[in-house]
A = this chain, B = another copy of it.
Amino acid sequence: MPTLYQDPRSGNCYKAVLTAAHLGLPLTTVDIDVTSGYTRTPAFLAKNPNGRVPTLVLDDGRILPESNAIAWYLAEGSHLIPTDRFARAQMLQWMFFEQYSHEPYIAVARFWMKFVPKEKLREKEHLIPDWHARGNAALGVMEDHLKKSDWFVAGHYSLADIALFAYTHCAEDGGFNLKTYPAVGAWLARVAGTKNFVKMTSA
């Protein structure tokens, strides 16, 4: 059974948990507190030289970092990855959008505003307006898309939905107002209604 090194508060880690649960795949989880510094220790850097969770370890010892690559590995051959060539590329398009235009603002705002002591947040406080501007731009792109489609790609639930759900559903922790994105809200409810859906452990 593969082992997922995760911080249960991390949306990136939650993507792997959500994918495995939906597909009924067995997965062992090992919880790590990313604020403890453990991901920067030699023991952990031997697993993932980039020093981040999630990191997946297979039974034979092979190691796979990067949340969206882990979700892809777990979901290969399932209905979570469209078989059509263009739809598969569109799914990756949204997954790259998530890592480049969404996560660095929405997840980062949540991390600093929810999990970091107030006196430390002061160092980053000047960045909040930029996080909010760019995060709201990403939510706006999602809202426009979801006004026309129930799902991100191929008319069904896929890894694009899982990748984007991970930090969108808890965006209010970072000061975003999801009420201004009704199509996103309806889509969040659709995802929460998918088969074997599990909530984020410590949201």
Q: Tell me the A residues contacting B by CB distance below 8 Å.
A: 49-50, 58, 62, 64-70, 72-73, 76, 85-86, 88-90, 92-93, 95-97, 99-101, 103-104, 141, 144-145
How many chain copies? 2
Other A-B pairs beyond A66-B97, A69-B93, A73-B86, 15, CB < 8 Å: A49-B141, A49-B144, A58-B86, A62-B86, A64-B86, A66-B93, A66-B96, A67-B96, A70-B89, A73-B85, A76-B89, A99-B99, A99-B100, A100-B103, A104-B104
User: Which chain B residue lies CB-closest to A137?
Assistant: B50
Main secondary structure of the interface of A (DSSP, over half): helix
B residues near A62, Cβ cutoff 8 Å: 86
Chain B nearest Cβ from A183, distance in angstroms: 13
